[in-house]
A and B are shown apart, each in its own frame.
With several copies, the nearest count.
Chain A
Amino acid sequence: MTDQRQPATLDTVDHALDTPDAQQPWRDLGLKPDEYAQLREILARRPTSSELAMYSVMWSEHCSYKSSKVHLRQFGELVTDEMRACLMVGIGENAGVVDIGAGYAATFKVESHNHPSYVEPYQGAATGVGGIVRDILAMGARPVAVLDPLRFGSLDAPDTLRVMPGIVAGVGGYGNCLGLPNIGGEAVFDSTYAGNPLVNALCVGVMRHEQIHLAKASGEGNQVILYGASTGGDGIGGVSVLASETFADSGSSTSGPGKKRPSVQVGDPFMEKLLIECTLELFEADLVVGIQDLGGAGLSCATSELASAGDGGMHVWLDRVPLRDASLAPEEILMSESQERMMAVVQPAHVDAFMRVCRRWDVEATVIGEVTAVTDDEASRGGRLVIEWQGETIVDVPPRSVAHDGPVYERPFARPAWQDALQSDGAEKLPRPKSGAELRETLLQLAASPNLCDKSWITDQYDRYVQGNTVLSQPEDAGMVRVDADSGLGVAVATDCNGRFAKLDPYAGAQLALAESYRNVATSGARPLAVTDCLNFGSPEDPDVMWQFAEATRGLAEGCRELGVPVTGGNVSFYNQTGETPILPTPVVGVLGVIDQVARRTPLGFASEGQAIYLLGTTREELSGSEWAHVVHGHLGGTPPQVDFAAERALAATLAAAACDGLVEAAHDLSDGGLAQALVESCLRRGVGARVRLPEDLDPFVALFSESTARAIVAVPRSEESEFASRCAVISLPHAAIGETAGLGDGAVLEVQGQFRLPLAELREAWSATLPAAFGA
């Protein structure tokens, strides 16, 4: 090993003891004075430079959740027996695991890669996908699908032209190359995301129950193997540090505080594909005792988390780590966030077999450490992790203090002074379209607006067919993949969040995100089972933002209890703001559901003529935060639609049962843009028209554009109509026959009787032209 850049004296533990008063760059590494003091107290001496590096990345906001922990606790506390029933692995592991029946388990999680994607959209988004896929793999599962909830600045903001195509190409470039079908996501445009795009990535994996693996280093003498890509100097402290500060402070390259190396890494999806196949073969051959992916905080995280969760200690020979750049110092190796790496704990007798599998896949693997025994005393202090460099000890710490016992903050929060004024400025008072012609214009304008228009410019860049199990993908309400070819068992996933609702009322906004995602899964015919979430907010140091966060987590936790679906894991992304202006609070919620027989799924598009169209649920005059207020008036104020979990449950149960019994041919939930947009999408999906009579007790505008929740439209074959209607009646689910499907092909028309007629060709033109006009055909 040649060291060109290494400091004259290696900062060993002995050296640290000898030089207790040495100045250390803890401030540049992002630690606060009391955190540094805490660290000295834990070690009863000053940390070595390597220890300082480890603690600083692991105690960063991104890795330690120090500002969010006290709020996230509710997800674990508000759990009922109903919620526990399906839960096999809960919060705290790389991803949660749920029982989906027939001996299968599903694992899924959503994570953010927001800041790197602004700096380098393609690579930032690509490595975001790569990271979440490794989390799923580390649970023992084969990754089977991805979803990508995205947020961008306004469509007409110049930087959106740079950011959006790069991010989409990056999500596609990485996921396509891995062979993971992209089955859903979101693409939302709002000016608050300019300079702060959100790239959230969700991955779903599937395994047999007995294949669940955990991130644990146990068994004295077991070997610690690092495998995958070699370690380089890019992205040292990247994700964790970048995502843990006010963005404006941290340069994109070497200019920021603490002269950070380039914080963006280049992903190698081919390496990751080999890593997936190699790891699955290792699981299959039962060669792995414990496993952890390397993501944020790299080796610092993997070694300390594995050691902390296990029953022993760990000894690591850091100079055995294969390097791409021989000049890296030990601190840098510990902090590097080089992609496409995994760490496994393996019994000594299995090491040769392990290496053989890696060679078959051309994956480099190196024994870099060993699980050690700990004394009772050491165990009580949080275990013992020793890292050695060229024969000298450079780290000797209780791993629990690094990985799990980081600082916890009760950050101050308070309802913002402006919240009341915002809520009293409702959209219900805005001028509305009145005549049929005006309603027709409004419907067209909304259909062509950035958030409601055709997203195929984006989704056509994603492979949705690979693996041959995709039953539903964009633009369906939920993505759905088959899990078991023999039985037809499958899972469905959707992600949602309306940040405008969350701004108006973060508690309700988080619940509305949950309700919508839950409803989407149910609409596809699946039974909602469990939740993952990605909480994207501004700076936690701003009491207004912290209040939004506190309200959103409380809302989500209580909502999950109401719906009986546990939160299994997720991610928090803070500091999403440009200067003083935070993004809309964006608690993205992903719901996973299960369906016994994927052939019974319900697609969203009307498929044939002459079927009865029913509107399910209750429509109220709810226009604040709506897409109509946003697009037509540029208005945001008032209170969001009412949350009604009992109604959501009734609707979901009806839709899942109707799918199972073949009572509905199509179903589509109502959300952004209300009934109008739902009809647009249901008609355009397969080119089938509709003749609709709006309920007489409602103002036509409200009937078309209100965004009341717990609603859906369904197409029911005439033969099933009475059965379907009586089932709704039994559980008092409001169901209004509002028309029938009529007309096929481009000659077909969407007709709202007494108001307007709109040829599908004209509608399609408006709906599909928006993104190509902005980003090129």
Chain B
Amino acid sequence: MARVVVDVMLKPEILDPQGKAVHGALPRLGFDGVTDVRQGKRFELELEGEISEERLAELRKAAETLLSNPVIEDYTVRVEQQ
């Protein structure tokens, strides 16, 4: 059993309407000093068995083809052993 976490964020040059909205709302709630907010997605995948290098490579491919759209997004994959 292992957990793999994939984080997907919009590329820096792509407008992020949701992050912008959060950024705009923070000062209204009294939180100052935030210079930027970006909102992305976090996937937690639970896997059976061991994580081999090979499976990790497969997962990277899934992250690249399915979980993110490389035209607008960057991703990171990391294993959280349990």
A-side interface residues toward B, CB under 8 Å? 119-120, 123, 229, 232-234, 252-253, 261-262, 264-268, 270-271, 324-325, 338-339, 362
Contact = CB atoms under 8 A, between A and B. Distances in A.
Nearest to B24: A362
Contacts of A233: 13
Residue from B10, B24, B71 with most neighbouring chain A CB atoms (10 Å): B71
A335 to B, nearest CB: 14
Contact of B72 (A123, A232, A338): A123
Contacts of A338: 15
11 contacts: A120-B71, A232-B13, A232-B15, A262-B13, A266-B10, A266-B14, A266-B17, A266-B72, A268-B15, A268-B17, A325-B12
Interface string B1-22: 0000000001111111100110
Nearest to B20: A268
A114 to B, nearest CB: 16
A271 B20 CA distance: 10
B69 interface: yes
B21 A265 contact: no
B15 A262 contact: no
B11 A262 contact: yes
Given A266-B15, A338-B15, 15 more contacts: A120-B69, A232-B13, A232-B15, A234-B14, A234-B15, A252-B71, A262-B14, A264-B72, A265-B15, A266-B14, A268-B17, A270-B17, A270-B21, A339-B15, A362-B24
A253 B21 contact: no
Contact of B71 (A229, A253, A271, A339): A253
B10 to A, nearest CB: 7
B71 A264 contact: yes
A727 B52 CA distance: 80
Q: Is the interface of B mostly helix, strand, loop or mixed?
A: loop
Interface residues of B, number: 15
A271 B17 CA distance: 8
A705 B20 CA distance: 44
Nearest to A229: B15
Interface in B1-51: 10-17, 20-21, 24
Interface in B63-82: 69-72
B72 to A, nearest CB: 6
A744 to B, nearest CB: 37
B13 A325 contact: yes
B69 to A, nearest CB: 6
A119 B15 contact: no
Contacts of A119: 71
A261 B15 CA distance: 13
Nearest to A120: B71
Contacts of A270: 17, 21
Contacts of A324: 15
A264 B70 CA distance: 11
A123 B71 CA distance: 11
Nearest to A122: B69
Q: Which 6 A-B pairs have the closest CB atoms?
A: A268-B17, A233-B13, A266-B15, A234-B14, A120-B71, A252-B71
Contacts, number: 45
Nearest to A123: B72
Nearest to B16: A266
Nearest to A327: B13
B39 to A, nearest CB: 12
B44 to A, nearest CB: 16
A336 to B, nearest CB: 10
Nearest to B15: A266
A252 B11 CA distance: 14
A339 B13 CA distance: 13
B72 A261 contact: no
Contacts of B15: 229, 232, 234, 265-266, 268, 324, 338-339
Contacts of A234: 13-15
A53 B70 CA distance: 27
Contacts of A123: 72
A302 B82 CA distance: 41
A468 B69 CA distance: 32
A229 B20 CA distance: 11
A271 B18 CA distance: 11
B30 to A, nearest CB: 14
Contact of B14 (A229, A265, A271): A265
Nearest to B65: A162
Contacts of B13: 232-234, 261-262, 325
A315 B59 CA distance: 45
A266 B39 CA distance: 13
A13 B26 CA distance: 44
Contacts of A252: 71
A126 to B, nearest CB: 11
A418 B69 CA distance: 40
A261 B71 CA distance: 10
B1 to A, nearest CB: 15
Contacts of B14: 232, 234, 262, 265-266
A37 B16 CA distance: 41
Contacts of A266: 10, 14-17, 72
A115 B80 CA distance: 39
A120 B72 contact: yes
A267 B24 CA distance: 17
A310 B57 CA distance: 57
Nearest to A328: B13
Contacts of B16: 266
A385 to B, nearest CB: 27
A650 B15 CA distance: 52
A342 to B, nearest CB: 16
Contacts of A264: 71-72
A119 B17 CA distance: 20
Nearest to A270: B17
B21 to A, nearest CB: 7
A120 B70 CA distance: 10
Nearest to A325: B13
A120 B10 CA distance: 13
B78 to A, nearest CB: 24
A2 to B, nearest CB: 14
Contacts of B11: 262
A267 B10 CA distance: 13
B36 to A, nearest CB: 10
Residue from B11, B12, B15 with most neighbouring chain A CB atoms (10 Å): B15
A265 B11 CA distance: 11
B13 to A, nearest CB: 4
A157 B22 CA distance: 21
B66 to A, nearest CB: 10
Contacts of B71: 119-120, 252-253, 262, 264
A76 B12 CA distance: 45
Contacts of A265: 14-15
A629 to B, nearest CB: 34
A233 B14 CA distance: 7
Nearest to A265: B15
A339 B16 CA distance: 12
Contacts of A362: 24
A398 B77 CA distance: 52
A338 B15 CA distance: 8
